[in-house]
């Protein structure tokens, strides 16, 4: 069951499809760090190329030349997630703001369509590969915000589906949390199947009534502080709960190194358990950011100690005199107001201003431990203040973000910390990919039995 992965990132989609039984014979990814991560964990079949300059015929030539495909042979499956940032709620908001300021392109018309952004047309490259390799099935993943956007009078979803002229295409917004991923990540999934082959279904929401939580995902990491190099050893004694089963799978899921070695998280060894240091001002502010979840400390739940949710806009400026200024002083920092701005200084003379709340009310948010994680985003490459740890006064680590995405512990991310955060945030959760792959595989087997 030969497949290729386009816009592959670090390989979340490939990893899940491999678990479902597909043979991934090629992947195309432009980012060099993500491509290196893919090669390190999945295989040397990654083409680190700009897909707009790497034609499907060129890939076919390489695959036929190295014996992965026979001359003229088609694929079983093409999968991929072409990035379309303008369709995300964040992207749309940002672009519309630029339009209003007259800073987006040459158009002064607020109705200017951001479909003109070349990144929003990358799905056409996906279409080209489908036309060349004529797979029986394809899977295309994208942000759920795409479903509410129109090009003139036509929903963009319909515009995309019409491009696949030889296929029946269905789409649905799936939440990864419904399929065993400890993250409330909603994405639109296009499932296409060639006319005449057995139809594939969307996977059943097996976890809809009992979703995995943040605590399920990282309970074994709570007692282990991040390190400078991200390398830690963890002992997880819990063995019976739903979360324990998930964490056990994260430990035992094997990856294939570039040299061919098959590895899993031996002895509880983990990598990428690192995060950014927090300055003295923000260490104090984090103490006041509350998730709204019941209190959880030292492995014990205290429902009665639950406190209301507090984000940055809830504590500043209203709590400056009553809570913040005294807390800064307690930590040995100077805090004062001058010229309408609030200032903080540490003993070494380093100074900070408070973040303005205009547009920054949710600058800081703490993750709830008792629910799935919010959507892990690529913006973590810049800062993690919207992903403050559920019980500690720090931002989450790359490894914690990877757990929320359902990447196994043996999966090692390469590149800088910022690059690793970006790779994790852009990826498809492997367990969601596996669920989709299982349904396609079931359709293929059903077709074989019928014939």
- Residue 22: phi, psi to the nearest 5? -85, 150
Confidence tier at 221 by pLDDT (50, 70, 90): very high
Could you tell me if 345 and 361 lie in one domain?
A: yes
- Residues 420 and 333 grouped into a single domain: yes
Is 43 in the same domain as 128? yes
174 with 321, same domain: the answer is no
Same-domain pairing of 147 and 236: no
What is the pLDDT averaged over residues 342-354? 96
* Radius of gyration for the chain, computed over Cα atoms and rounded to the nearest angstrom: 24
The answer on 144 and 127 residing in a single domain is yes
Q: Does 266 lie in the same domain as 165? A: no
289: pLDDT strictly greater than 60? yes
CATH code at position 394: 3.90.120.10
pLDDT of residue 176: 97
The per-residue pLDDT for 155 is 74
Q: Do 90 and 219 lie in a common domain?
A: no
What mean pLDDT comes out for the span 401-418?
97
Q: Are residues 261 and 193 in the same domain?
A: no
Section 174-187 average pLDDT = 96
Structural domain total, the chain: 2
Domain assignment of residue 446, given as a range = 2-208+428-450
Q: What is the mean pLDDT of residues 389-414?
A: 96
Same domain for 416 and 279, yes or no, is: yes
What average pLDDT is seen over the chain?
88
Predicted local confidence at residue 200, as pLDDT: 93
Convert the pLDDT of each residue in 228-253 to its tens digit.
999 999 887 777 788 999 999 999 99
> Above 90 in pLDDT, residue 258?
no
Does residue 153 share a domain with residue 84? yes
Asked if residue 35 and residue 157 are part of one domain, the reply reads: yes
End-to-end, the C-alpha distance of the chain in Å comes to 17
Report pLDDT for 196. Answer: 87
What is the token pair recorded at 353? 């201003």
Give dist(CA 281, CA 262) in Å, integer: 45
CA distance linking residue 235 with residue 137, whole number of Å: 42
Residue with the larger pLDDT of the pair 225 and 359: 225
Residues linked to residue 140 through DSSP beta bridges, in sequence order: 80, 190
State the average pLDDT over residues 143-165: 76
């Amino acid at each position: 069951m030969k497949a290729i992965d386009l816009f592959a990132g670090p390989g979340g989609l490939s990893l899940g499809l491999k678990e479902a039984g597909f043979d991934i014979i090629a992947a195309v990814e432009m980012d060099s760090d993500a491509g290196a991560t893919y090669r390190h964990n999945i295989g040397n079949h990654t083409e680190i190329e700009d897909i707009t300059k790497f034609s499907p015929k060129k890939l076919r030539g390489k695959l036929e030349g190295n014996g992965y495909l026979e001359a003229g042979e088609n694929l079983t499956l093409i999968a991929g997630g072409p990035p379309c940032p303008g369709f995300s709620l964040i992207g749309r908001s940002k672009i519309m703001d630029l339009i209003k300021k007259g800073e987006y392109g040459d158009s002064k018309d607020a109705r200017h369509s951001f479909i003109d952004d070349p990144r929003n047309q990358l799905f056409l490259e996906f279409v080209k590969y489908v036309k060349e390799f004529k797979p029986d099935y394809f899977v295309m993943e994208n942000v759920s915000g795409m479903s509410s956007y129109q090009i003139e009078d036509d929903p963009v979803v319909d515009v995309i589906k019409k491009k696949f002229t030889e296929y029946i295409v269905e789409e649905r917004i799936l939440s990864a949390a419904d399929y065993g991923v400890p993250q409330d990540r909603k994405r639109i999934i296009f499932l296409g199947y060639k006319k005449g082959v057995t139809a594939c279904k969307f996977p059943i929401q097996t976890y809809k009534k009992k979703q995995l939580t943040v605590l399920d995902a990282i309970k074994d990491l709570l007692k282990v502080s991040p390190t400078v190099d991200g390398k830690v050893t963890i002992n997880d004694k819990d063995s019976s709960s739903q979360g324990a089963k998930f964490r056990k799978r994260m430990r035992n899921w094997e990856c294939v190194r570039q040299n061919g070695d098959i590895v899993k998280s031996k002895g509880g060894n983990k990598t990428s358990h690192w995060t950014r240091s927090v300055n003295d001002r923000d260490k104090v502010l984090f103490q006041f950011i509350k998730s709204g979840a019941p209190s959880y400390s030292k492995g014990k739940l205290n429902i009665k100690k639950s406190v209301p949710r507090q984000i940055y806009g809830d504590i500043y400026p209203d709590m400056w005199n009553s809570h913040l200024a005294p807390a800064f002083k307690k930590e040995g920092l100077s805090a004062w107001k001058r010229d309408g701005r609030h200032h903080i200084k540490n003993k070494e003379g380093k100074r900070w201003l408070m973040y303005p709340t205009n547009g920054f009310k949710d600058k800081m948010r703490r993750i709830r431990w008792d629910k799935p994680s919010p959507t892990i985003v690529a913006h973590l490459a810049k800062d993690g203040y919207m992903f403050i740890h559920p019980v500690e006064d720090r931002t989450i680590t790359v490894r914690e973000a990877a757990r929320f995405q359902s990447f196994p512990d043996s999966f090692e991310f390469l590149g800088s910390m910022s690059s690793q955060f970006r790779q994790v945030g852009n990826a498809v959760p492997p367990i969601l990919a596996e669920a989709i792959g299982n349904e396609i595989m079931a359709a293929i087997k059903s077709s074989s039995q019928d014939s």
